[in-house]
Amino acid sequence: MSIMPTNQTPYPIIDYLGRPIQLQLFVTYRLRVKNGYILALRRNQHQQALPNLLVKHAS
């Protein structure tokens, strides 16, 4: 029987512009798990073009 691997590092929470944010109390968010991050949308916000944070970019 195989065991599912666990992810020990938390995903960053990103706003609709791709900036890291801290969630606020008494604010309703719609949370969506994306490629390597959690997208937190407030009311009347829509997802913009966001990067894939799992892909390592060449320097």
> Is pLDDT of 17 > 90?
no
Mean per-residue pLDDT, 36-49: 86
User: Which pLDDT band holds residue 4 (cuts at 50, 70, 90)?
Assistant: low
Cβ contacts of 40-49, under 8 Å, gap ≥ 24: 40/13, 40/14, 40/15, 41/15, 41/16, 42/16, 45/15, 45/16, 46/16, 47/16, 48/16, 48/17, 48/18
pTM (predicted TM-score): 0.65
Residue that wins the pLDDT comparison between 28 and 36 = 28
Query: Per-residue pLDDT averaged across 23-45, rounded?
Result: 90
> CA-CA distance, 7 to 4, in Å (whole number)?
10
Residue count of the chain, please give it: 59
Average pLDDT of the segment spanning 8-19: 84
Domain spans, the chain: 11-49
59 is written with which tokens?
């320097």
Instruction: Supply the pLDDT for residue 36.
Output: 78
